[in-house]
Structure 1
Amino acid sequence: MNTTAANAAQAGARSVSERIAAHIAGLDYDALPAAVVERAKALMLDTLAVAWAGRDAPGAPEAHGLLAADGGKAESTVWGYGGRLPASSAAFLNSLFGAALDYDAVNTVHADVCVLPAALAIAERQRVDGKAFLAAYVAGADLAARLGGALTGRHKGWFTTSIYGVFGAAAACARLLGLDAAATAHAFGIALSQASGTQQANIEQALTKRLQSAFAARAGAFSALLAGRGVSAPREAFEGRFGLFQLYQEGDPGKVFEGLGERFALAQTNFKKYPICACSHAALDAAFSLIREYGLTAGDVTAVEVIHSPLMHRLVGAPFDPSSNPQVAAQFSVRYALASALLRGHVDLDDIQEDAVLDPAVRAFTQRIDVTVDEANTSSRAPATVVMQTRHGRLSRTASAFPWSAEAPPTPDELARKADACFGYGPAPLAPGARKILIDRVRGIEAVDDMSRFFADVL
């Protein structure tokens, strides 16, 4: 369906949910700008790479063992492990792997780590071509980010990635299943009954934080599959009296339609420079700026203060305590991030492994770091200020932007180095030859005529 026809279909629809469903059902590959297609490929490769590095992270092998033991129809590939499981199980595991190291891309929400695993699992199951897969992936990721961007009012503590990501995953999977607008709306209604997620997991630094996108990916795929079988659901999933925006976070459905089908959220999606919560990235960049400029080491610094927003503080401002889940504690502690930067000169994949996190020197240095909340700062990621007491005197630096943002993106070489490091990480790295096949396949995905063979000769 062309853009004019899609707009006409939306205008004739009776509700917000039906208008969104009409857009999803009508979006074709040919409607995607070339720049969006290239961005989708870059985000796809980034998500696959961080998932490969996360396949052995705490919680991931346990979940894989459980679902592999349950078995089922061999439909979709389990990234990093090989073998096939039912599409909804593969979507769950691959999303978990992608979220585990907190290294995945972020927009208003972490859309890609919910939508891509679900879309790729259903694309394999349905044996669609690469263009159909890309259109569905872009449509779903765009919707999840738009829903996140429609949030208004006070943040209640929902984990917005999962409560919005489930709808993005459902949208992508509905598109791949060839559902019409009415059935797609039912998929949204089914997803509404499964939307869930809480920042309590972030605050308590529990392993379930990395499971929440996986629940959304699985639920999105399952919702679309049920809708494809004719299961009916509420027609006003988003705007209804007890729909998403009324029952969860308050939101303005009108924002979802601003530039819908003309501007795509992927263009504003940010890659992650460090494998930690995005709320620490600006402070970490400010610290590295001072370290490089003044040649600082940990021995030069007697005290550090971080000044950031209330939301940042809620997620990464608590005292560093690795006693329960060392990796998650490191990922959600700005104190740990700065201590690693000053003691080691980097914050990378090695620095979030248990031995590094439990280093007594790091724990001791975090005691020198204080965190101050700037109540006037309403941001979730930037700005953040770092003040250091050093042999040079008092030094201060503010990072006003999120590193590797859409406005100042990483270079192709920087992204390639990140992907190479991730694919090569852990006890079972992806072999260089297989790595090249996978990268080339992503870059030329339009030529793939059967997505069930996407991972052929890779796993």
Structure 2
Amino acid sequence: MTTLTEQLSNFIVDTNYKALPSDILASTKRRILDTMGVAWAGSTAPGCGDARAVTLAEGAKGVSTLWASGDKTGSRGAAFVNGMHAAALDFDSVYEKGSVHPDIVVVPAAWAVAEQTGSDGKAFLAAVALGNEVACRLGAANRENRGWFFSSLHGVFGAAAAAGKLLKLDANGIRDALGLALTRASGTQQALIEKSLAKRAQSGFAAEAGVFAAQLAAAGVSGPSEAIEGKFGYHALYGAGEQTVIVDRLGSHYESLATAIKKYPSCTANHVPIDLLIETVSEYDLKADEIENVEVEISRFADGLVGGPFDPSSNAQVAAQFSIHYSAASALLRRKLGISEIQEEAIFDERVASLIPKIDVTIDENNNSKFAPAGVRVRIAGGELLERRSDYVPGTLENPLSDEQVAFKFRDCASFGLHPMSTSDADQFATCLINLDEQETIDHVFDGVH
């Protein structure tokens, strides 16, 4: 009888670029573009420069690129740095059903190994699509969370699968890579609730570990053969899950299509209220002094992530990203929340501080979902109450971003970071990324960018 881990391994080995549906290829391209953009912007976020310096100080020789700086280093170090940069602004794509951000782990891992192996664009795209599918299916199967950070916990398996695919491992090799990834699976929400910089490092750790697992497997190092279903495997140790979900319609249905591209650089729990408040103040052309009170209604789950008091004193950017009070105030005041709005000058704006006391958060006890539905009520001068509600998070399949919105986000991201780009340069770079499957190698993608 074929085990679950063997079924996953066979799927990874047997599926190539030509076998992938057009919709999964298009979605994967969009999210690679998005991941590169958010990593570019995140490269100057707190902690990211230090992580880059520590990695380069090792003096590792290699051909893998640190995206935002252009430095070359070993594949594992590059996977770590790029993974951390991509997570830094909390602007990366998310598979809501499994509470996992697959791309910030899988894309850096696959890119680093693709450069190492001289793989072409088609092989790279296939590896990313397959690695993301592994991470998302693990997320879909989970039925409890004991406090693990799922992006790194699931992501390390996706990274190992993608790296193993690019290293041309056979099914036994992929199985070993997944088994070795099990020994490195980790990540904690403690970093999130304390708003420490370790939160953004965890995706980098997982990308690095996934690459190393695949490289060890390629060298002949064996791993546990029942990484997912074993007596002391993934589900036994990390949390109960429905194992059949992991292989249900494997190869004919792609769970990762449900991964959403984020519209705003903040926790997903903020996104529906931000959208609704921007719509409200724009439609009625409201000024801050016309607003008497705002009530934001969210789920208990969302409240646990973003509903606490706003305190930017220790780590302003992370505090802003995980605050519904700050997000709402920015939406009301500026009618936007982009990269500029999570910089310290914007966060400590006195006008924001004056709006926050007007914002109340209530919990919808009948809402057992995570991020949507959510609603807002804005009471304006004269007593009129303006109400809005939405059932879908922007960027999801039900409420997708347009191509122009994705392009706008990339331009915004590319205008920040270590090497800010002009709009025309960003558009040219984006075109190259969207057409990766036409590249014989990805070695020259950064030519003329740094």
Q: What TM-score does the superposition give when structure 1 sets the normalisation length?
A: 0.93
Alignment of 1:279-290 (within 5 A): 279-290=269-280
Q: How big is the shift at 1:352?
A: 0.2
- Is 1:112 paired with 2:103? yes
Match of 1:99 among 46, 64, 87: 87
Q: Determine helix, strand or coil for the equivalent of 2:443.
A: helix
Instruction: Determine if contact 1:202/1:332 at 8 Å carries over to the other structure.
Output: no
Aligned mates of 2:341, 2:272 — CA distance in 1: 18
Aligned mates of 1:210, 1:124 — CA distance in 2: 24
Aligned mates of 2:422, 2:270 — CA distance in 1: 32
Give CA deviations for 1:251-277 in whole Å, capped at 9, x if unaligned.
111101122111223422211111111
| Structure 1 partner of 2:74 | 86
| Structure 2 partner of 1:36 | 24
Query: Which ranges of structure 1 fall in alignment gaps of 5 or more residues?
Result: 1-11
Equivalent position amino acid for 2:257 in 1: A
- In the comparison of the two structures, how many residue pairs are matched? 446
- Is 1:76 paired with 2:64? yes
Alignment of 1:236-247 (within 5 A): 236-247=226-237
| Structure 2 partner of 1:5 | none
Aligned mates of 2:232, 2:302 — CA distance in 1: 30
Give CA deviations for 1:262-319 in whole Å, capped at 9, x if unaligned.
1223422211111111111011122223222332222122222222112111111110
| Structure 1 partner of 2:136 | 145
Instruction: Determine if contact 1:187/1:226 at 8 Å carries over to the other structure.
Output: yes
- Is 1:314 paired with 2:301? no
Aligned mates of 2:216, 2:141 — CA distance in 1: 27
Distance 1:85-1:38 versus aligned 2 partners, 3 A rule: same
Q: How big is the shift at 1:163?
A: 0.5
| Structure 1 partner of 2:385 | 394
Match of 1:190 among 173, 180, 183: 180
Match of 1:361 among 343, 348, 351: 351
Q: How big is the shift at 1:350?
A: 0.7
Match of 1:349 among 339, 344, 347: 339
Alignment of 1:37-436 (within 5 A): 37-107=25-95, 108=98, 109-152=100-143, 154-391=144-381, 392-426=383-417, 428-430=419-421, 435-436=426-427
Q: How big is the shift at 1:393?
A: 2.3
Q: How big is the shift at 1:382?
A: 0.6
Q: How big is the shift at 1:358?
A: 1.7
Query: Which ranges of structure 2 fall in alignment gaps of 5 or more residues?
Result: none
Equivalent position amino acid for 1:28 in 2: N
Instruction: Determine if contact 2:4/2:247 at 8 Å carries over to the other structure.
Output: no
Q: CA RMSD in A?
A: 1.6
Give CA deviations for 1:323-371 in whole Å, capped at 9, x if unaligned.
1110000000011000111122221111100111122332332222222
Q: Percent identity?
A: 42
Instruction: Determine if contact 1:147/1:256 at 8 Å carries over to the other structure.
Output: yes
Match of 2:7 among 19, 41, 44: 19
Equivalent position amino acid for 2:238 in 1: Y
Aligned mates of 2:232, 2:358 — CA distance in 1: 48
Aligned mates of 1:269, 1:317 — CA distance in 2: 24
Q: Determine helix, strand or coil for the equivalent of 1:171.
A: helix
Q: Determine helix, strand or coil for the equivalent of 1:66.
A: helix
Q: How big is the shift at 1:438?
A: 2.8
Give CA deviations for 1:2-47 in whole Å, capped at 9, x if unaligned.
xxxxxxxxxx62x111111111122111111122212211111111
Q: How big is the shift at 1:433?
A: 6.4
Give CA deviations for 1:148-198 in whole Å, capped at 9, x if unaligned.
11111x432211111001100110001011111111111111111111112
Q: Which moved more, 1:185-194 or 1:298-307?
A: 298-307
Equivalent position amino acid for 2:209 in 1: A
Instruction: Determine if contact 1:125/1:452 at 8 Å carries over to the other structure.
Output: no
Equivalent position amino acid for 1:99 in 2: A
Aligned mates of 1:317, 1:245 — CA distance in 2: 31
Instruction: Determine if contact 1:302/1:389 at 8 Å carries over to the other structure.
Output: yes
Distance 1:274-1:432 versus aligned 2 partners, 3 A rule: closer
Q: Determine helix, strand or coil for the equivalent of 2:337.
A: coil
Aligned mates of 1:360, 1:437 — CA distance in 2: 38
Instruction: Determine if contact 2:68/2:418 at 8 Å carries over to the other structure.
Output: no
Distance 1:295-1:457 versus aligned 2 partners, 3 A rule: closer
Q: How big is the shift at 1:57?
A: 0.8
Q: How big is the shift at 1:432?
A: 5.7
Q: Determine helix, strand or coil for the equivalent of 2:176.
A: helix
Q: How big is the shift at 1:119?
A: 0.3
Distance 1:265-1:71 versus aligned 2 partners, 3 A rule: farther
Aligned mates of 1:344, 1:112 — CA distance in 2: 30
| Structure 2 partner of 1:7 | none
Q: How big is the shift at 1:395?
A: 2.7
Aligned mates of 1:25, 1:288 — CA distance in 2: 46
Q: How big is the shift at 1:388?
A: 2.3
Distance 1:434-1:87 versus aligned 2 partners, 3 A rule: farther
Q: Determine helix, strand or coil for the equivalent of 2:142.
A: coil
Equivalent position amino acid for 2:243 in 1: P
Q: Which moved more, 1:423-432 or 1:233-242?
A: 423-432
Distance 1:155-1:377 versus aligned 2 partners, 3 A rule: farther
Aligned mates of 1:104, 1:59 — CA distance in 2: 17
Instruction: Determine if contact 2:105/2:207 at 8 Å carries over to the other structure.
Output: yes
Q: Which moved more, 1:39-48 or 1:299-308?
A: 299-308
Equivalent position amino acid for 2:68 in 1: G
Q: Determine helix, strand or coil for the equivalent of 2:362.
A: strand
Equivalent position amino acid for 1:403 in 2: P
